[in-house]
Chains A and B, each alone.
Chain A
């Protein structure tokens, strides 16, 4: 069985979904002959033809708007935006149409589309290529937001996203596209779109994260374990709807929680999780909940981008602050 990377998990899921359902199509800029700028759609056009793997003109609003139109009329578009920053013109169609189609027509029409795009920093990319806008999409009613952080979760979650009858924003942590290899069985098994994954069990502290920050978070957990601290690590994976039950169950058991995200802190998913913990039962926590985030600044150009993102040391420091409270 092949050991594959996260991005190969994406490609595998796309091929599987297209194989099993003729109404699934892929569209985006350079997704055809070129196979996408990160090669997520490599080989799909030669396999499924240019009517199902469609190179679009360079027009993001059109990709989003036509995906809404196709989805409402019996096609399942899986649209690719080349980078997170270029999804901003698409927000109109997601917010004003994709997330509302079913509701505004009382179920007469629906919008089963997927918008997938690479997000996050850390690959020395130009401006507008490195942001983490998950909170923006999670704030949109009617839209699911998913961020896989391993090859098998990329495969299973993307399959579920494509099969889902409602719109899904599928954000791919590009910094870890090729970080780890994992055995992924192409059996068409999907993963649920509303549960977190506990990556490591522990008793003293819960670290909650998602996307590429899984890398630093696991490294921080290793360091803390060396200090004799038993750390539980949760990959949120499905940002919206948020599985607060799993997070709360862990945090109330360990009594201590640090949330790590690459995105800015203000009005963020980390803030939502912290508020959710307080709401569910602040009395079960032994210490304040800490958020380790990107700064509330513009994502810097690449020479400083790693200084912007939470480091292992920042995570360990926050963990120690939380552990010091008795």
Chain B
């Protein structure tokens, strides 16, 4: 005879439909009526998308290296940033610009990183956030470590990390969940599920009904939200960050969105996914629905939209100019590769550093 020893369910939350209408006018978070806040976040979403377009243009014209686009992820990313306090710690993967801009990372810094200059990772603020993290899902454990540090130091701070649907297959993500559960860490793990791990679709990654349930398997409260609905994303993040800060432990949020871009500028998604799928995803994208909603509530209009578009283009151009000026006129010398290897340069590296100074411009051209 069998008896059920554990059962679980995963709730999906969505407040705003693709048509910009609230799904249920009665049961919405107060955030849905906070138009000032929503306007501010909408502006950042538009700015992030404008930045993204510029970065791709810079890459296509040979002024930037490989770049990972955030197109389509703006609601998820901006919500993650907006739910955090300055003193909290963010461990990003490598395309969460919306969250980072909210936290104070400069656009020129993003461009410097993808433009091949380490100084891009020396964020003007926040000083304690982790750098971009290319080895997939490893950042989840760095965030868990940060959360452990906050807990040990008894600081009311929260660590937040992001992983993709692809990264949720990795042990690092699962080990972070396990650790957060074992030690009740102030950690929020967000799975930004954009349906594609480069060319491998969600359906081929595993047969689990949701990725949120991986958190439940490890003992963490876990939910799924519409990742194109800013209100749902921010509501969930606020709830998770508050719980973590209040000592109630960690949380997993799966945000369902879609990667409208190629994986990076080195990828061509037309090779592996049908145009119809992408066209359909564009109808659900996050900016459009929030704009429609704000307009329907008389919180936004076409004039403001035009003004915002112009402001964003100008702001992004300034950042691009700043980046291009810096790499052209203030490049890092050859010795820069030695200077931050250790707090104090060991004798063997000091010797190599001195040697490198004899060949300051060597190495040919790309």
Indicate if the CB atoms of B343 and A68 lie closer than 8 Å.
Answer: no
Indicate if the CB atoms of A66 and B347 lie closer than 8 Å.
Answer: no
In angstroms, Cα B152 to Cα A74, docked, is: 10
- Pick the residue among B89, B122, B179 that contacts A73 (CB under 8 A): B89
Indicate if the CB atoms of B145 and A73 lie closer than 8 Å.
Answer: yes
Residue on A nearest B132 in the bound complex, by CB: A104
Indicate if the CB atoms of A73 and B146 lie closer than 8 Å.
Answer: yes
What 0/1 pattern do residues 158 to 197 of B give for CB contact below 8 A with A?
0100000000000110011011001000000000000000
List, in ascending order, chain A residues with CB within 8 A of B182's CB: 56-57
- Pick the residue among A59, A67, A242 that contacts B145 (CB under 8 A): A67
Indicate if the CB atoms of B343 and A166 lie closer than 8 Å.
Answer: yes
Q: Which of A234-282 contact B (CB under 8 A)?
A: 241-245
In angstroms, Cα B153 to Cα A104, docked, is: 26
List, in ascending order, chain B residues with CB within 8 A of A245's CB: 347
List, in ascending order, chain B residues with CB within 8 A of A104's CB: 118, 121, 131
In angstroms, Cα B124 to Cα A105, docked, is: 11
In angstroms, Cα B154 to Cα A74, docked, is: 12
Residue on A nearest B185 in the bound complex, by CB: A66
Best-buried of A51, A71, A73 by chain B (most CB within 10 Å): A73
B45 to chain A, nearest CB (A): 27
What 0/1 pattern do residues 118 to 134 of B give for CB contact below 8 A with A?
11011100011011011
Q: Does B138 contact A (CB under 8 A)?
A: yes
What 0/1 pattern do residues 95 to 113 of A give for CB contact below 8 A with B?
0110001111111111000
How many residues of chain A are within 8 Å of chain B by beta carbon? 48
Best-buried of B147, B172, B349 by chain A (most CB within 10 Å): B172
Instruction: Tell me whether A241 and B347 are in contact in the complex, defined as CB-CB below 8 angstroms, given that A65-B144, A66-B148 are known contacts.
Output: yes
Residue on B nearest A65 in the bound complex, by CB: B141
In angstroms, Cα B175 to Cα A66, docked, is: 10
What 0/1 pattern do residues 106 to 143 of A give for CB contact below 8 A with B?
11111000000000000000000000000000000110
In angstroms, Cα B91 to Cα A322, docked, is: 55
In angstroms, Cα B135 to Cα A104, docked, is: 14
Question: Size range of the interface on B?
Answer: 35 or more
Indicate if the CB atoms of B144 and A62 lie closer than 8 Å.
Answer: yes
In angstroms, Cα B72 to Cα A99, docked, is: 34
List, in ascending order, chain A residues with CB within 8 A of B342's CB: 102, 142, 165-166
List, in ascending order, chain A residues with CB within 8 A of B212's CB: none
In angstroms, Cα B122 to Cα A100, docked, is: 13
Indicate if the CB atoms of B118 and A106 lie closer than 8 Å.
Answer: yes
- Pick the residue among B123, B143, B147, B172 that contacts A108 (CB under 8 A): B123
Q: Does B149 contact A (CB under 8 A)?
A: yes
Q: Does A189 contact B (CB under 8 A)?
A: no
Residue on A nearest B171 in the bound complex, by CB: A61
List, in ascending order, chain B residues with CB within 8 A of A19's CB: none
In angstroms, Cα B121 to Cα A92, docked, is: 20
A273 to chain B, nearest CB (A): 13
Q: Which residues does B use to contact A, with CB under 8 Å?
A: 89, 91, 118-119, 121-123, 127-128, 130-131, 133-135, 138, 140-150, 152-153, 159, 171-172, 175-176, 178-179, 182, 337, 340-343, 346-349
4 closest residue pairs by CB, A with B? A69-B145, A65-B141, A66-B145, A69-B142
17 interchain pairs, CB-CB under 8 A = A59-B171, A62-B141, A62-B176, A62-B179, A69-B130, A69-B145, A70-B146, A73-B89, A74-B149, A97-B133, A102-B340, A104-B121, A107-B340, A108-B123, A165-B342, A194-B346, A241-B348
Given contacts A56-B182, A57-B175, A68-B145, 10 further A-B contacts (CB under 8 A): A62-B178, A65-B144, A66-B179, A70-B152, A73-B128, A74-B153, A105-B122, A106-B119, A110-B343, A142-B342
